[in-house]
Structure 1
Amino acid sequence: MLLHESQLAQGVFNLTWKVEMSGTIETGHVKWFNDEKGYGFISRDNGQDDVFVHFRSINSTANRKTLQEGQRVEFKVIKGPKGLQAEEVTAI
């Protein structure tokens, strides 16, 4: 598969910004999630700032990766290009 220069640059940029904030798994609940846009926010149980979540970060065997408002989740927090975001998100 050949990548266009802009795709390659975007991939390098994304890898550069994915810095894990803590090695520990955190818990929280889904504040909101927009199925059509594929993203939302998670409210952390530790009271720290909410974190962005993208559908690609959801661990699920379902065909459509989604979250429901109020759903309990566990996740890791990383620093993305636009701020904190959740990775390895799993419903609990």
Structure 2
Amino acid sequence: MAKSQQTFSKKEKEKKKLQKRKEKQLKKEERKANATDGTLENMMAYVDEFGNITDTPPDPTQKKKEVKASSIEIGVPKQEEEDLSTERRGRVAFFNDSKGYGFINQDGSQDRFFVHVNGLKEPIQEGDRVRFSLEKGPKGMNAIEVTKV
């Protein structure tokens, strides 16, 4: 007598596939039953004065604020020019002699500036108090004319 070609695991997989199809069909029918009409008014979204998205239209009786088009800035705001010629003071936070660069923390602020061995007037080490000027580099401000205090 011949043995059946279907194994137990094949039968289980078929049952699971059928069950998933039934669940999917039920969900589809439930969505159709609970669906609201797809009119344009139901799909509209509004932005309130704080930038939040809401489904209620704005109140037309509310006072509107006039904005001049010239006052709108697009992009990054312009930075004020720093006086680079003034001498600053700080402490060497990190300096690697073998690679020839480091960083200086400015006194009285959170500013940290890159320093290269070419910008030194005398050798420095970590922890030294220094006096320096600034110049604009390709990636930000660089400390130059660095001397120990």
TM-score (norm: length of structure 1): 0.68
Matched residues, percent identical?
Answer: 50
Counterpart of 1:56 in 2: which secondary structure?
A: helix
The answer for the alignment partner of 1:7 in structure 2 is none
Which of the residues 3, 24, 36 maps onto 2:98?
36
- When the two chains are superposed, the root-mean-square deviation of aligned CA atoms in Å is 1.5
Structure 1 residue runs of 5 or longer lacking an equivalent are 1-19, 61-65
Moved over 3 A (4+): none
* Residues 71/58 of structure 1: CA separation in 2 closer, same or farther (3 Å cut): same
The answer for the alignment partner of 1:77 in structure 2 is 134
Structure 2 residue runs of 5 or longer lacking an equivalent are 1-81
In 1, distance between residues paired with 2:83 and 2:95?
22
Counterpart of 2:118 in 1: which secondary structure?
A: helix
Counterpart of 2:99 in 1: which secondary structure?
A: coil
Shift of 1:46: 2.9
Give the number of equivalent residue pairs.
68
Counterpart of 2:126 in 1: which secondary structure?
A: coil
In 2, distance between residues paired with 1:47 and 1:35?
26
User: For structure 1, which segment, 77-86 or 29-38, has the greater mean C-alpha deviation from structure 2 after superposition?
Assistant: 77-86
Between structures 1 and 2, the one with greater strand share = 1
In 1, distance between residues paired with 2:119 and 2:144?
5
Give the number of the structure whose alpha-carbon radius of gyration is greater.
2
